[in-house]
Amino acid sequence: MNLLALYCTHQTTPLAIRERLAFATPERLVAAYARLKDRFPGTESVVLSTCNRVELYVARPSDAEPLTPPLLAQFLSEFHDLPLDEFVGELRAATGSEAVRHLFEVISSLDSMVLGEPQIVNQVREAYRVAEAQGSCGSMAHALFQGAIRTSSRVRTETRLAEGKVSIASVAVGDFAKSIFDHFADKLVLVIGAGEMAEETLRYLKDEGVCDIVVVNRSPERAAKVAAEWGGRTAPWSDLNKWLGQADVIVSTTGADKPIVDAKLFKQVRTANPGRTAFILDLGAPRDFDTEVGKLDSVFLYDIDSLKKTCEENRKSRVREIDKARGIIDEETAKFMAEYYHRASGEVVSRLMQDWHGVSRDELDRLFNKLSHLNEKDREQIERTVERIVNKLLHPPLEALKVEAREGTPHGLINALKRLFGL
Amino acid sequence: MLKTTVVCFLASYALAFACELSQLKRRHALTRIISLLLAVAGLVAHTFYLLHRSKQAHLPPLLSSAHDWLLVVAWLAVLVYLFVTLADGELAMGLVIWPVILTLVITSRFVTDSPSYRLDYHRNWKMLHASMLGLGTTFVLLGFVLSLLYLWQHRRLKQRLMANGAVKLPNLELIERLNRWAILAAVPFQTFGIATGFGLSIFAKGGELPMTWTDPVVIGGAITGALMGVLFVWLLTQKRSPGRQVAMLTAWACGFLLVTMLGLQMLTAAVGMRSIHGSAPATTPEAAVEGRAP
């Protein structure tokens, strides 16, 4: 199999190098395909470039000279105008079945920064789509990437690798807020402070349909920036209690060194809406809300520690699925390789059968011309007998070829058959 | 007509519940389908059983006996379960509703199943009385199930427990809304049912068993009905009350109503207490032949 994968990932290469090797824009990607075609004619190629990895998959016909990692590294160096010695040590290469296995692991999210994350499937699909649009895919690339998509689908349905959320904001919104509220379009979200995690939480809340966001921060400039980014409005710090009394969802990330809201204050500000449910996500460290607030009826208070535990449990339960996922990948890799080798030896098999059956047909015609007294039934009997003889004679070499094909392309046997039978 | 027995559908429902329980460990599409098929098979057998009983007693199932009346309520509950499950198969409703349905079916074996031939007069009013109480009880049962789901979900959220992948509970806001509607629907039906019952007793004609104020079923029904009425008024007058408080009150009120209703029916049947609903003797020998309670 003439397949090579050259790659650098978040596990092997620092971001500083990955971002220089990335094909960041669609235009750069199109240019890369054009350059690959120029440089390596007759080569199938697929480029996978994401924030966590840059990978090149190249395949050539079995009888063509194989591409080597240094050749592809040279291509990357020239294309990105980057000295070879700055990144060559960071690259990894895999060939044949190892390259197949690597792609299957990547698309199944075993190699992702967040184990089981779903985006990688779409990223690989997109890479395959672009390669196809650029005319860079042949039979090998099609088979490889379709096999990869099939594998990822099996891993996701037969294992729990993608189950459970693993980031604090996604757990808070997906596992808890959504179990409290039916819909978010009519909910008032109060953001206290304007940290990064608050913004991440806002992203998940926005996805759920949140429209009304109020940002309260000691620094009005920072509050205005966050509010503008997420389509919210700002309120002065002095109005905090007023908004605390009205909000349905409260996300707090202040840098205060002690709780800014205790149970007494919270009860007091909620007197106008005593039964109103409040979901509080306290992302401050130290905490912004006193733990007693969480004991109030209709208040659901979550802090980093309580969510971290859930994230960790989800992560662990995903890790427990790795072996199962690897088992599926092994199975799919073996299946892919067997199909590939079978295809490689298929041409010889069909030519051999054609030749032998051709010879037997000619001889039978000659015989029937001589024995014109034979009726249709007798002819049929003779034809069947000869066909059986040919099949029985062909069986041992073809069986040997089949057995050899399980281990790899049986080049030696194929050549021997070609020479022995003049194919 | 296909003749079925209580054991047929009771077994189907019990197996469907067992399938739901097995889902707690690992969710599997096949188990879910089997569970649904068992529920449908049970419902079909249940329907045939009620039709058969109705044909034999020459009375609608709601009116023939306490046994049949309970089975009609259970039948309605299975319908609600199937409707919800087909709408969202992931919901863990079966875990809560099956025990209630099984309790109703099992209890029906311990109450009188003798058809009471008292439909000579006020047939339509009696039908209205039984239907209203049947619908009211079904809504009470739903309120009870929803309250339990609410308390289950509330406990999980308060204790910050990770959602079990195998059990999906509805969100609090949705359960709260449905619970409120269940109670708001149950109380008018119950009240109207009780009121028509009193009316029928007052205007009872010759040959009918008159209502006595010491009839335990009537007393229990009136007390629990009043309790539900109080809950109803409280729900209507409260601007916004904590969901957990509503769920707790509903669970207690509905639970009390169900236990009282079932308990009193069983008690009157067991001790042969004189009751207008519980232990009225059949007036024809043929009526007593079929399916006497053990």
Q: What are A163-187's pLDDT values in tens digits?
A: 777 778 888 888 899 999 999 999 9
- Average pLDDT (B252-269) is 77
In this structure, the number of other CB atoms found within 10 A of the CB of residue B98 comes to 24
Mean pLDDT of chain B: 79
How far apart are the C-alpha atoms of A256 and A287, rounded to whole Å?
Answer: 8
Tell the residue number behind the tokens 């149970």, with chain if given: A263
Q: What is the pLDDT of residue A46?
A: 96
SS3 assignment for chain A: CCEEEEEEECCCCCHHHHHHHCCCCHHHHHHHHHHHHHHCCCCEEEEEECCCEEEEEEECCCCCCCCCHHHHHHHHHHHHCCCHHHCHHHCEEEEHHHHHHHHHHHHCCCCCCCCCCCHHHHHHHHHHHHHHHCCCCCHHHHHHHHHHHHHHHHHHHHCCCCCCCCCHHHHHHHHHHHHHCCCCCCCEEEEECCCHHHHHHHHHHHHCCCCEEEEECCCHHHHHHHHHHHCCEEECHHHHHHHHHHCCEEEECCCCCCCCECHHHHHHHCCCCCCCCEEEEECCCCCCECHHHHHCCCEEEEEHHHHHHHHHHHHHHHHCCHHHHHHHHHHHHHHHHHHHHHHHHHHHHHHHHHHHHHHHHHHHHHHHHHCCCCCHHHHHHHHHHHHHHHHHHHHHHHHHHHHHHCCCCCHHHHHHHHHHCCC
Q: What is the pLDDT of residue A34?
A: 94
| Contact call for residues B264 and B70 (beta carbons, < 8 A) | no
Looking at per-residue confidence, does A139 or A55 come out higher?
Answer: A55
Q: What is the pLDDT of residue B292?
A: 37
A140 lies in the same domain as A220: no
**A332 domain-assigned:** no
Q: Three-state SS for A56?
A: strand
Nearest CA distance, A295 vs chain B (angstrom)? 8
Q: Which of B153, B165, B240 sits opposite A275 (nearest CB)?
A: B240
Tell the residue number behind the tokens 């208040």, with chain if given: A299
Beta bridge partners of A192: A216, A252
A93 lies in the same domain as A172: no
How far apart are the C-alpha atoms of A130 and A152, rounded to whole Å?
Answer: 19
Amino acid in the structure at residue A412: G
* pLDDT at position B31 over 70: yes
* pLDDT at position B286 over 50: no
CATH of the domain at A91: 3.30.460.30
Q: Do B243 and A274 touch (CB under 8 A)?
A: no
Residue after which a domain boundary falls, among A163, A181, A210: A163
Pairing label, strands A3-9, A53-59: antiparallel
Smallest CA–CA distance from B29 into chain A, residue: A157
Smallest CA–CA distance from A179 into chain B, residue: B171
A71 lies in the same domain as A124: yes
* pLDDT at position B290 over 50: no
- Average pLDDT (A314-336) is 89
Task: At B109, give phi and psi (nearest 5°).
Answer: -75, -20
| Contact call for residues A236 and A220 (beta carbons, < 8 A) | yes
* pLDDT at position A387 over 70: yes
**A263 domain-assigned:** yes
Q: What are A250-267's pLDDT values in tens digits?
A: 999 887 878 899 999 999
**A325 domain-assigned:** no
Beta bridge partners of A301: A280
Give the range of the structural domain holding residue A352, as residue numbers without chain letter. 339-420
Residue after which a domain boundary falls, among A163, A194, A226: A163
Q: Which residues contact B2 (CB under 8 A, 6 or more apart)?
A: B48
**A331 domain-assigned:** no
- Average pLDDT (A24-42) is 91
Of all residues in chain B, the percent with pLDDT exceeding 90 is 16
Q: What is the pLDDT of residue B14?
A: 95
**A38 domain-assigned:** yes
**A116 domain-assigned:** yes
Smallest CA–CA distance from A166 into chain B, residue: B162
Q: What is the complex's ipTM, to 2 decimals?
A: 0.74
Q: What is the pLDDT of residue B212?
A: 63
Under DSSP, the state recorded for A89 is G
Q: What is the pLDDT of residue B275?
A: 60
A12 lies in the same domain as A155: yes
Q: Which of B162, B173, B177 sits opposite A313 (nearest CB)?
A: B162
Q: Which residues of B touch A277 (CB under 8 A)?
A: 172-173, 243
Beta strands in A193-339 (DSSP E): 212-216, 233-235, 249-252, 278-282, 299-303
CATH of the domain at A248: 3.40.50.720
How far apart are the C-alpha atoms of B198 and B122, rounded to whole Å?
Answer: 13
- Average pLDDT (A397-401) is 79
Q: Which of A160, A182, A297 sits opposite B245 (nearest CB)?
A: A297
* pLDDT at position B174 over 80: yes
Q: Which of B160, B163, B173 sits opposite A181 (nearest CB)?
A: B173
Q: Which structure tokens are listed for B20? A: 């739901």
Q: Three-state SS for A234?
A: strand
How far apart are the C-alpha atoms of A138 and A135, rounded to whole Å?
Answer: 8
A189 lies in the same domain as A262: yes
A294 lies in the same domain as A375: no
A360 lies in the same domain as A275: no
B273 pLDDT tier (thresholds 50, 70, 90): low
Q: Which of A182, A306, A313 sits opposite B174 (nearest CB)?
A: A182
A278 lies in the same domain as A363: no
Looking at per-residue confidence, does A417 or B211 come out higher?
Answer: A417
Q: What are B2-23's pLDDT values in tens digits?
A: 678 889 999 999 999 999 888 8
Q: Give whole-number Cα distances, A15 to A153, A232, B233, in Å.
A: 29, 33, 65
Task: At A46, give phi and psi (nearest 5°).
Answer: -135, 130
Among chain A, residues having any CB pair with chain B shorter than 8 Å are 160, 163-164, 175-176, 178-183, 273-277, 294, 297-298, 300, 302, 306-307, 309-310, 313-314
Q: Do A277 and B173 touch (CB under 8 A)?
A: yes
In this structure, the number of other CB atoms found within 10 A of the CB of residue A174 comes to 17
A8 pLDDT tier (thresholds 50, 70, 90): very high
A8 is known as an active-site residue: no
A122 lies in the same domain as A63: yes
A150 lies in the same domain as A177: no
Q: What are B125-152's pLDDT values in tens digits?
A: 878 888 888 888 888 888 888 999 999 9
Q: Do B242 and A274 touch (CB under 8 A)?
A: yes
| Contact call for residues B111 and B269 (beta carbons, < 8 A) | yes
Q: What is the pLDDT of residue B180?
A: 84
Q: What is the pLDDT of residue B293?
A: 34
The residue length of chain B stands at 294
| H or E, element range at A238 | none
Q: Which residues of A touch B162 (CB under 8 A)?
A: 164, 175, 310, 313-314
Under DSSP, the state recorded for B168 is B
**A382 domain-assigned:** yes
Q: Which residues of B touch A275 (CB under 8 A)?
A: 238-243, 245
A vs B, Cβ pairs < 8 A, gives: 59
How far apart are the C-alpha atoms of B77 and B43, rounded to whole Å?
Answer: 10
A207 lies in the same domain as A155: no
**How many domains are contained in chain A?**
3
| H or E, element range at A47 | strand A44-49
Mean pLDDT of chain A: 88
Q: Give whole-number Cα distances, A41 to A5, A58, A70, B159, B284, in Å.
A: 17, 11, 17, 63, 98
B34-51 burial by CB neighbour count: b if 16+ within 10 A, else e? bbbebbebbbebbbbbbe
Smallest CA–CA distance from B241 into chain A, residue: A275
Lowest mean pLDDT among A80-84, A151-155, A401-405: A401-405
**Farthest-apart Cα atoms in chain A, separation:** 115
A155 lies in the same domain as A202: no
Task: At A49, give phi and psi (nearest 5°).
Answer: -130, 110
**A103 domain-assigned:** yes
Query: A51, A137, A211, A311: which is the annotated catalytic residue?
Result: A51
Nearest CA distance, A275 vs chain B (angstrom)? 4
Q: What is the pLDDT of residue A167?
A: 79
Looking at per-residue confidence, does B275 or B124 come out higher?
Answer: B124
Looking at per-residue confidence, does B159 or B289 come out higher?
Answer: B159
Tell the residue number behind the tokens 């509903």, with chain if given: B250
Lowest mean pLDDT among A88-92, B90-94, B218-222: B218-222
B287 pLDDT tier (thresholds 50, 70, 90): very low
